[in-house]
Amino acid sequence: MNKQLIWRIAKYLGIGFLVAFIAAILIGGSVFFYYVSKAPELSESKLVATTSSKIYDSKNELIADLGAERRVNAQSSEIPTDLVNAIVSIEDHRFFNHRGIDSIRILGAFLRNLRSNGLQGGSTLTQQLIKLTYFSTSTADQTIARKAQEAWLALQLERTATKQEILTYYINKVYMSNGNYGMQTAAQNYYGKDLKDLSIPQLALLAGMPQAPNQYDPYSHPEEATERRNLVLSEMQKQGYLTAEQYETAINTPITDGLQSLKGSNSYPPYLDNYLKEVIEQVETETGYNLLTTGMDVYTNVDQDVQKRLWDVYNTDEYVDYPDDDLQAASTIVDVSNGKVIAQLGSRHQSSNVSFGINQAVETNRDWGSTMKPITDYAPALEYDIYDSTAYMLKDVPYNYPGTNTPVYNWDRGYFGNITLQTAIQQSRNVPAVETLDRVGLDKAKKFLNGLGIDYPTMVYANAISSNTTESNKKYGASSEKMAAAYAAFANGGIYHKPMYINKIIFSDGSSKEFSNPGTRAMKETTAYMMTEMMKTVLYSGIGRDAYISWLPQAGKTGTSNYTDDEIENYIKRYDYVAPDEMFVGYTRKYSMAVWTGYSNRLTPVIGDGFRVAANIYRSMMEYLSEDDHPGDWTMPEGLYRRGEYVFKNGARSNWVTQTTQTTTTTETSSTTSENTTSLPEITNPSTGQNPTNPNLNQNPQQNPAPQGQQ
């Protein structure tokens, strides 16, 4: 090939690349201008608007006006330089050097995302203000069109407003937790001072809060708030805004320095606070909009009458006898037919001054104990045809966790011998539960739980009788919210509905969106019915008698967590029966309710009559919910038949007794089964000093996950 030909090819290739490059620019430019042509109009009224979101209950009655109660705007002249330095240090180092978008910042974020396989934003402070004012924060809305519009409006704003004005808009727009909007409002309510009178560490705290205001709330999350404030101070020092001496003094200042007691001035009653927190979170999850900074009308599923009654049950002695004022409770009530959360409360005697603090009703940091057995062990065993009747015979005998030499203990350290599946649930025996999980298999059990909205990073055999996980993330483990929704599937013929707090939103532009969960089949109708039949006996002849209501068809399960031997020896001063958590989960044909009780400090044990509180809370609420609308009993579906007190699948094998073996196989042979073809089993429950209030103590082997987040 001669040089002339090579040159000609190179020339044509170069021209081709140039044409393609120019075409890409033209096309990209055309697309960009098409997107920005549909951008909202930039207006100062939007930037300074006092955003207010109205919240309604299930009867369309106004229950809260969020955003209207606490807002004091700061003038540009009232904003101290140290606050400006703190904000730009943590949010936008190059704020004073760009014109709305920062190509260097975007490139840096792109490279960091490549290295970390994560998602780090490249938005400037101006773009964040535009996002707060006009757009959703949902990941699904992070489209090219939205990004183009955001960038365009940021460029326009930088042309029409000074940097000082933009900062002022931002400082007055952000949400600062506890019902405070804008940093001047927060300064006055947190410290009783104006911004200009605050110290450097106080200003650094305020500057760091907007990214996650409730998480960095110094009242409810002092450790996280301290960490965030110190990060702001570190960035300020790196940018040259603080000397080494100023930095050391600031980071050694307690986060509580200057904080005053919060004043309760919410526009809604305190019994709604926990529920509204979940409304806020679900709105952002479902739409990407933060209703605290974006005006909208939100119609929720809360029944105010039920919510108020739950508050009264928690905070008075009229309905339940509490051992002391410190025993805590958390519960969720859902409509089993649709998953609507009609009431939820995360604590007793909660402060009326703190807005949207910790809601224990949705936290997964406490162990739900034996309430896990129905959904982890026995329902999957019925679903996958490992067991074919409620009379299926199990052995409650000495047994080790599969693959270990660690024994599984029952609450009484005793054994019942041959018992039916129904008795195993009714008397909350641990050995049959763990053996059942082994027969089901961890993978199948995990899949079944996923269908009920419950997950673990990794399942272990201790999860047969415990909800403990190795991860603190709320998406793992169990909570009252998750348990109420999971048990609702039993009540609803096997259909699971995601818990829903909201049913409709009307946005500021007049558009609206309705929310409902159609439900998914989590188990066969036959499985749900058989589990219900067995858990009925827990209330009238088992260990859940405190929840029994003679006139109301219902089913449920108790749960008790346990301390480790080390905790008992070193921290728990009592040596009679104690536990960190006591639970009850139950349901009727209409409602499902999950109740947790325990102390905020896990090492403060539940004792004596404290074990009865969870079931008593449940009973009190179910009586109230059902007194005017008796929901009736369940109807046995096709595919089942009844013999005496037991329910059988069509084609069920003759009743037989399996032998407990320490093998990983579930293959049944003549050597591992013994048939009884003549009659149903006659089980006599031994009377061995059983304590009817506390019979379901979990015993977790040391190699299994320790309780998470408990202190």
List, by residue number, the catalytic residues.
91, 370
Q: DSSP 3-state assignment of 667? A: coil
Contact 650, 637 (CB under 8 A): no
Q: How far is CA 439 from the centre of its chain?
A: 30
Cα–Cα separations (whole angstroms), residue 11 to 1, 5, 87, 380: 15, 10, 52, 70
Those residues whose C-beta lies under 8 Å from the C-beta of residue 107, and which sit 6 or more positions away, are: 122
Those residues whose C-beta lies under 8 Å from the C-beta of residue 633, and which sit 6 or more positions away, are: 553, 589
Q: DSSP 3-state assignment of 640? A: strand
Contact 518, 292 (CB under 8 A): no
Contact 547, 615 (CB under 8 A): yes
Beta-sheet pairing, 495-496 with 417-420: unpaired
Q: DSSP 3-state assignment of 182? A: coil
Give the whole-angstrom CA distance, residue 380 versus residue 371: 14
Contact 141, 288 (CB under 8 A): yes
Q: DSSP 3-state assignment of 4? A: helix
- Sequence-separated contacts (24+) of 134-143 with Cβ below 8 Å: 134/40, 134/46, 136/287, 136/288, 136/289, 137/284, 137/288, 137/289, 137/290, 138/284, 138/287, 138/288, 138/289, 139/288, 140/288, 141/288
Sheet of strand 62-66, all strands in order from the earlier edge strand to the far edge: 62-66, 53-56, 296-300, 502-507, 512-514
